[in-house]
């Protein structure tokens, strides 16, 4: 069953056309991530789904019904914001129960749902504390708990982890993935962090400048990007782009090669000079110059390579991507 369908959704603020002909289907239980650079319209799209913004044209369907004129509280959704948006004067339990009280749920249901959410999120010890007495990660869990207790049809997350430090971001990311499995809920998650998108999503929607560039599973997008933008956006270190003329005279295309598909070889066709080496322990990233083009080669394991060294690079068989001047993907 389709949980959410967007058909030709457009959104303008005055003269500014922010969302352009967005079409999307989200299946029941799917984890969908909207990813794209700052200002591309991710939050606006989420707010349109939530009903916090009206569409300018097009339709939003939730569970098969058009909800264009349905207020947010009647859409069966719960949204978690980057800013947490907790009520500072209410303790954790009251922050979590407020929406249920507004829905006039019974005390029994309220207690049961808070207990369930607190257990899932490891918040049982903190129910009596105020937001100011919690760490950033704990606050974020309360914000998620507040969404869980409502048993929504659809969870919407807008960059929920961006205020957390790197280690906590990783942990909370795992918790959200677990939660998705446990709740079997439909989730839409916004981030500008491609690694979050790759690790969490069943389906990624890549947005640029208010348009959908490509929709697919993480590996579909990684292995088969439709254009240079998607190719360069997903993957870290990012795909290298070079003039294809470096390999064959007169070729005017752009060659794209992922860092893990470049390797050192005495018979390699690309002459490179090492500029910098990142020894990561498990991997070694070699940042090198080919003429005046910088490339990154990601080598497995540890390598005694130093800045200033010259060597030859080769591209793994079948791992070249080609793009035209406008960035569209060409068949090899
Ligand atoms: N209320 C508004 N009035 C006018 N323009 C707006 C309004 N809200 C958003 N915009 C514009 O719409 C565009 C998309 O904004 P949006 O917040 O959706 O981007 P985003 O992808 O979430 O970016 P970020 O990653 O920085 O959060 C931006 O150019 C923004 O300036
Ligand atoms: Mg945003």
pLDDT at position 6 is: 98
State the closest ligand 1 atom to the C-alpha of 192, by its place in the atom list counted from 1.
25
**Separation of CA 39 and ligand 1 centre (Å):** 5
State the closest ligand 1 atom to the C-alpha of 190, by its place in the atom list counted from 1.
22
What is the best residue among 9, 17, 44 to mutate for testing ligand 1's pocket, by most ligand atoms within 8 Å of CB? Answer: 44
* Closest Cα to atom 27 of ligand 1: 38
Mean pLDDT rounded to a whole number for the chain = 94
How much is the average pLDDT of 164-188? 86
pLDDT digits (tens, 9 = 90+) for 39-98: 999 999 999 999 999 999 999 999 999 999 999 989 999 999 888 789 999 999 999 999
Length of the chain in residues, anyone? 332
pLDDT at position 214 is: 98
Peptide bond into 234 cis (omega under 30): no
87 lines ligand 1 (CB under 6 A): no
42 lines ligand 1 (CB under 6 A): yes
CATH topology of domain 2-231: Rossmann fold (3.40.50)
* Closest Cα to atom 5 of ligand 1: 13
Evaluate whether 287 touches 330 at the Cβ level (below 8 Å). no
37 lines ligand 1 (CB under 6 A): no
Span of 171-185, 187-201, 248-262 with lowest mean pLDDT: 171-185
How much is the average pLDDT of 261-272? 94
pLDDT at position 160 is: 87
- Ramachandran quadrant class, 248 (left: phi over 0; alpha: psi -120 to 50; beta: rest): beta
41 lines ligand 1 (CB under 6 A): yes
Q: Does pLDDT of 1 surpass 80?
A: no
- Which ligand is located closest to the Cα atom of residue 211? 1
Q: What percent of the chain has pLDDT over 70?
A: 100
Q: Does pLDDT of 332 surpass 80?
A: no
End-to-end CA distance of the chain: 38
State the closest ligand 1 atom to the C-alpha of 44, by its place in the atom list counted from 1.
18
pLDDT at position 165 is: 80
Please determine whether the domains at 2-231 and 237-330 fall in the same fold group of CATH.
Answer: no
The structural domains of the chain, with segments of one domain joined by +, span 2-231, 237-330
pLDDT at position 163 is: 78
Give the integer Cα–Cα distance in Å for 231 and 258.
Answer: 9
pLDDT at position 174 is: 87
Placement of tokens 């200002």 in the chain: 39
Q: Does pLDDT of 128 surpass 90?
A: yes
Phi and psi for 329 in degrees, rounded to 5? -70, 135
Angle between helices 136-148 and 107-120 (to 10 degrees): 140
127-165 as b/e, with b when 16 or more CB fall inside 10 Å? Answer: beebbeebeebbbbbbbbbbbbbbebbbbbbbbbbeebe
How much is the average pLDDT of 94-114? 93
- Which ligand is located closest to the Cα atom of residue 42? 1
Q: Provide Rg for the chain, Cα atoms.
A: 23
* Closest Cα to atom 31 of ligand 1: 39
Paired sense of beta strands 240-243 and 211-216, if any: unpaired
**Separation of CA 219 and ligand 1 centre (Å):** 28
Name the class of domain 237-330: mainly beta
**Separation of CA 278 and ligand 2 centre (Å):** 32
Mapping DSSP onto H, E and C, the string for 250-311 reads CCCCEEEECHHHEEECCCCCEEEEEEEEEECCCEEEEEEEECCEEEEEEEECCCCCCCCCEE
Q: How far is CA 123 from the centre of its chain?
A: 26
Q: Does pLDDT of 188 surpass 80?
A: yes
């Amino acid at each position: 069953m389709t949980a959410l369908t967007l058909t030709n959704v457009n959104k303008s603020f005055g003269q500014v056309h922010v969302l352009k002909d967005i079409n999307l289907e989200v299946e029941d239980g799917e984890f969908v991530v909207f990813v794209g650079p700052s200002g591309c319209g991710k939050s606006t799209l989420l707010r349109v789904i939530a009903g916090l913004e009206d569409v300018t044209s097009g339709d939003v369907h939730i569970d098969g019904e058009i909800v264009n004129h349905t207020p947010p509280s009647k859409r069966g959704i719960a949204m978690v914001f980057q800013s947490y948006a907790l009520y500072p004067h209410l303790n954790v339990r009251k922050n979590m129960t407020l929406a249920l009280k507004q829905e006039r749920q019974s005390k029994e249901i309220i207690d049961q749902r808070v207990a369930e959410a607190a257990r899932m999120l490891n918040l049982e010890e903190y129910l009596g504390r105020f937001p100011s007495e919690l760490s950033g990660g704990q606050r974020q869990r309360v914000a998620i708990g507040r969404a869980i207790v409502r048993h929504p049809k659809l969870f919407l997350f807008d960059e929920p982890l961006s205020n957390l430090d790197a280690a906590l971001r990783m942990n909370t990311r795992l918790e959200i993935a677990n939660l998705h499995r446990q709740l079997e809920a439909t989730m839409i998650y916004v981030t500008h962090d491609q690694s979050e998108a790759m690790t969490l999503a069943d389906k990624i929607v890549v947005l640029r400048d208010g348009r959908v560039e490509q929709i697919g599973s993480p590996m579909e997008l990684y292995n088969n990007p439709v254009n240079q933008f998607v190719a360069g956006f997903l993957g870290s270190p990012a795909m290298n782009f070079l003039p294809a003329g470096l390999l064959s005279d007169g070729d005017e295309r752009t060659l794209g090669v992922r860092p893990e598909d470049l390797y050192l070889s005495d018979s390699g066709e690309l002459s490179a000079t090492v500029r910098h080496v990142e020894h990561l322990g498990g991997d070694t990233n070699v940042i090198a110059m080919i003429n005046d083009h910088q490339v990154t080669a990601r080598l497995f394991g540890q390598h005694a390579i130093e800045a200033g060294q010259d060597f030859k690079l080769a591209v793994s068989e079948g791992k070249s991507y080609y793009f035209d001047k406008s960035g569209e993907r060409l068949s090899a």
